[in-house]
Amino acid sequence: MVTRRWNDSDEAKASYVKDLFSALAKRYNVMTDLWTLGLHRLWKRQAMAQLALRPGDRVLDVATGTGDLAFMEQAVVGPEGRVVGVDSCAPMLEVARGREHGAVDFQEGDAMNLHFPDASFDVVTIGFGLRNVADRVQALREFRRVLRPGGHVALAGYERDEEDACTAAYGAVLRTGPEAAAVEGKRGRSGEALLQSPLFEAGECAAFRHEQEADEEGLLGRALSASYAPREPAAVAAFTRRLRAVFAAHQREGQVVLRYVTTVYLARRRG
C-alpha cells in the first residue's frame, strides 16, 4: 500500500502515480474486473469500435498498463502492422509481457517525453490513463510529434456521472480519501483537453452511459477497495459512516445505482 503524501508539483504526482501502479500491478487486472464488475471489457471494445484501426497501421498505446488495449489493437493491425505499448511503470509492463499475446512490443517510457522519432505512428491511443498523467498538455504535444501528418489520437476514459445525485454524493465521499487528489483530482472529462488543443483538429467525442447497482455492503466494499481509500482505523470509520449516510439517503429497496460514462475522444493531427 502506498501511503506517502505528495505535494502539488507535477514531479511529485508522477512519482506518486508510479508508486501506486507499481504496488497495484500484480493485482491490477483482478482489481479492475472487481471495480468495474467486468464492464471495463465492454468500455475497451467501445473504444476500439470508435477507433476504426486498419490492418497495417502503426499504433502507439500510451499508458498501456497491462496491455488490454494494445492486444486488441494488435489483433486488428495484424502482422503487417505494429503496436508498441508504452508505460512509465515497469511492474505493469512485466504483467503485460507475461500475458502470452506475443506480438505487442512493450517498452518503458513517459507520455510526457516519448522516446520515438517524429511522425513514426499512424495512431496514438491512451486508455483510461490521461487522468494519471501529470502534464496533459505536454503529453498531447508529444502525441502530435510522434504522429504522422493526418494521424489520429484517441483518448478513452471513464468517469462517474456526477450529474446524478447519488453518484455525486458517493464521489464526494471518495474524494475525502487521503490520497484521492492524486487520482480523483485528475478526473473530470480529461479528454476535453484534446478538443481544446490547437495541435489537433476534427475532434469528436462519443459517450456511453452505464450504471451499476450496489447494496450497502457492495457500496462499502467498492469504495474501500479504491487504491486511495483511507487505511487508518479512525479514517476508515469516518469514511464508512459517510458512505452509509449516502446509502441511506439514496437507496431504493436496498439498492443504490451508480452512474458512469465512458468517453472516447478522437482527433486528427493538425498540419
- In the list 57, 73, 110, 179, the residue contacting ligand SAM (rule: CB under 6 A) is 110
Stretch that binds ligand SAM, among 52-60, 84-92, 161-169, 236-244 (CB under 6 A): 84-92
The per-residue DSSP string of the chain comes to: -------SSHHHHHHHHHHHHHHHGGGHHHHHHHHHTTHHHHHHHHHHHHH---TT-EEEEET-TTSHHHHHHHHHH-TTSEEEEEES-HHHHHHHHTT---S-EEEE-BTTB--S-TT-EEEEEEES-GGG-S-HHHHHHHHHHHEEEEEEEEEEEEEE-TTSHHHHHHHHHHTTSTTHHHHHTT-S-TTHHHHH-TTEEEEEEEEEEEEEEE-HHHHHHHHHTSTTS--SHHHHHHHHHHHHHHHHHH-BTTBEEEEEEEEEEEEEE--
Q: Which stretch binds ligand SAM (CB under 6 A): 2-10, 61-69, 116-124, 261-269?
A: 61-69
Instruction: Using the minimum distance from each CB to ligand SAM, give the nearer residue, 21 or 200.
Output: 21
Q: Which is nearer to ligand SAM, 10 or 201 (CB)?
A: 10
Nearest residue (beta carbon) to ligand SAM: 65
**Binding residues with ligand SAM: total (CB under 6 A):** 21
> Using CB under 6 A, which of 16, 71, 106, 128 touches ligand SAM?
128
Among 57, 68, 73, 122, binds ligand SAM (CB under 6 A): 68
Under the rule (CB under 6 A), what is the footprint of ligand SAM? 14, 17, 21, 62-65, 68-69, 87-89, 92, 110-112, 127-129, 132-133
